[in-house]
Amino acid sequence: MAKRFDLIVFDWDGTLLDSAAAIVAAIQAACRDLDLPEPPEPRARHVIGLGLGDALRHAVPELPESRYQEMVDRYRHHYLSRDHELQLFAGAAELVAELAAKGHALAVATGKSRVGLNRALASSGLGAYFSASRCADECFSKPHPQMLDELMDEFSIAPERTLMIGDTTHDLLMARNAGVSGVAVSYGAHPLSALDTLQPLACVPDVGELAQWLRMHA
C-alpha cells in the first residue's frame, strides 16, 4: 500500500507513556502541599498536555500567579519521585520501531518541558527513533498549531502528509488548527466521548488497534 503519511507526530504522556495517573496524583499532592483545594481527577486529567501556565490556570484556579513556581516545584518533586516506575504502554516501543523501519519520519509534540522530554526519551529507549520534537516550553501551548507547523517546516512535509496521534482534545484541536489529520487513543487522559466530538480519523482503545489502523491506513 502506498504511504499516506510521511510524518507521524506522537504526543507523549498518555499516548506512548502510561503516565496520566501519575500526573494527576502529582498535581493533587502539590495542591495539598500548598494548602489548596485538590482538583477532582477529571479536572486534573483535562490539563494533561497543556503548557504550564494554561494547565495551572485550569487545574488550580485558586492559585495566584505569584505562587506558580512554588506549585511547579512541588509538582516536579512528586512526579519525579516516581517517574522511574512509569512504563510505556504495551506495544508502544514495537510500534514506533515498526513505523521507523517503514520509512516514516517520526516526531513528538508534547506538553512536557524540554528537560522532561529528553529525560523520558533517554529512559524509554525511544530517543533514536524520533528525528525531531517540540515541547511546551519552546512553543505556544496546545491547541495552538505552532508545534506541528514547526515540525512540518523542519521536515518540509505538507499538512496532508502529516498525522498527529494523541490522547487529548488538545492534540486533536492542535491538529485541526494546523490542517493535519488526527488519530485519537482512548486509553489516556481524555474520555472517548470528548475525543469523538472532534471527529478524528479513528479513535482506538489500545496500542494494538492503533498499530493495526496505521498498517492499513498510514
Taking the chain (218 residues) in runs of 10, the rounded mean pLDDT of each run is 87 97 95 95 94 86 91 93 92 98 97 94 96 96 97 98 98 98 97 97 98 96
What is the number of residues in the chain? Answer: 218
- Tell me, yes or no, whether 68 lies in a domain: yes
For residue 87, the model assigns a pLDDT of 96
For residue 79, the model assigns a pLDDT of 92
Domains held by the chain: number: 2
> At which of 57, 84, 111 does a domain end?
84
Q: Got the DSSP string for 97-131?
A: HHHHHTT-EEEEE-SS-HHHHHHHHHHHT-GGG-S
Residue 204's H or E segment, with its range, is strand 202-204
- Tell me, yes or no, whether 1 lies in a domain: no
Query: Which residues are catalytic, by number?
Result: 11, 13
Among 128, 117, 91, residue whose Cα is nearest residue 207: 91
- For the entire predicted model, the pTM comes to 0.95
Classify residue 110 as exposed, middle or buried by CB count within 10 Å of its CB (0-12, 13-18, 19+). Answer: buried
From CA 136, how far away is CA 166, in angstroms rounded?
15
Tell me, yes or no, whether 13 and 113 share the same domain.
yes
Tell me, yes or no, whether 158 and 80 share the same domain.
no
Classify residue 156 as exposed, middle or buried by CB count within 10 Å of its CB (0-12, 13-18, 19+). Answer: exposed
CB 105 within 8 A of CB 131: yes
